[in-house]
Amino acid sequence: MRPAQPAYVPTAETRQCLSQLGAAEASFAPLPDKFHGAGCSTVNTVQLSALYGDDQRTLGIGNLGPVACPVANSFAGWARYGVDRAARSILGSPLARIETFGSYNCRNVAGTARRSAHSTANAIDVSGFVLADGRRISVKQGWSSGSRAEREFLRIVHTSACKRFGTVLGPEYNEAHKDHFHLEGGSRPFCR
Ligand SMILES: [Zn+2]
């Protein structure tokens, strides 16, 4: 017989965050804490599989790994009240899916010796949006070369992300962010 695995017991703070995420009707699974060394860890993280939009619609999420629970909550609120609503009002179609370049990644901020928020799964890189009518709006193409409505949509959802996340970086920030929005948790407001 193999010894039983120790049960994963989340902290009270994480339990509260998980119940908030459940109330937002996100589909997710809590992940066990892992310490990867070199300043990298996934603590209090979840695997999000789907989010909830308006009108009982499910929103898909592409390519997302472990995300710190508070960031997952910000993401769920942004998807539903920021992105889905902007898609309906500006582009005339509900949102179907948010595409990402991922979340956890044990690395430094490009060009520095400082660990990125991705090293603790406290950031998500959003690369594009797929609408229910099949249109796909990528940050890379749409930010400067999209239709007038697509450019407006991307700017609106960038601005609304700034209300829910600590640090938000987009194509105007630097060359490294020309193809995605970096959405990072925390209390330090920084929106570019
Ligand atoms: Zn990033």
Angle at CA 17, nearest 5°, toward 154 and 183? 25
DSSP state of 106: -
Measure the CA–CA gap between 21 and 95, rounded to whole angstroms: 20
- Based on DSSP, count helices (H) and strands (E) in the chain, helices before strands: 5, 12
CA 147 → CA 94, 108, 137, 141, 177, distances in Å?
Answer: 17, 35, 10, 10, 20
Residue 187 lies inside a defined structural domain of this protein: yes
**53-76 per-position pLDDT tens digit:** 877 789 999 999 999 999 999 999
Note whether residue 2 is domain-resident: no
Residue 4 lies in a domain: no
| Banded model confidence at residue 10, pLDDT cuts 50, 70, 90 | confident
Q: Is residue 175 part of a domain?
A: yes
* 174 inside domain: yes
Cα–ligand 1 centroid distance for 13 (angstroms) = 25
How far apart are the CA of 126 and the centre of ligand 1, in A?
Answer: 8
d(CA 147, CA 130): 15
Q: How far is the CA of 169 from the centre of ligand 1 (A)?
A: 8
CA distance 190 to 192: 7
Ligand 1 centroid to residue 96 C-alpha, Å: 22
Looking at the structure of the chain, the number of domains it has is: 1
28 CA to centre of ligand 1 in angstroms:
21
Residue 87: which domain range? 12-191
User: Could you tell me the pTM of the whole model?
Assistant: 0.93
Q: Indicate whether 32 belongs to any domain.
A: yes
Separation of CA 46 and ligand 1 centre (Å): 18
- 125 is a domain residue: yes
DSSP 113-158: SSBPGGGGT-EEEEEEEEETTS-EEEHHHHHHHS-HHHHHHHHHHH
Give the number of other Cβ atoms within 10 Å of residue 3's Cβ. 5
Please tell me the distance between residue 83's alpha carbon and the centre of ligand 1 in angstroms. 18
pLDDT in tens, 128-176: 999 999 999 999 999 999 999 999 999 999 999 999 999 999 999 999 9
- How far is the centre of ligand 1, averaged over its atoms, from the C-alpha of 125 (Å)? 5
Give domain status of residue 5, yes or no: no
Q: What is residue 95's predicted lDDT score, i.e. its pLDDT?
A: 97
CA distance 166 to 168: 7
Q: What is the pLDDT of residue 93?
A: 97
- Predicted confidence at residue 136, as pLDDT, reads 98
Encode pLDDT of 75-89 as tens digits: 999 999 999 999 999
Cα 73 to ligand 1 centroid, rounded to whole Å: 17
Which residues hold their Cβ within 5 A of ligand 1, which is an ion?
123, 125, 182
Distance (angstroms) between ligand 1 centre and the Cα of 5 equals: 33
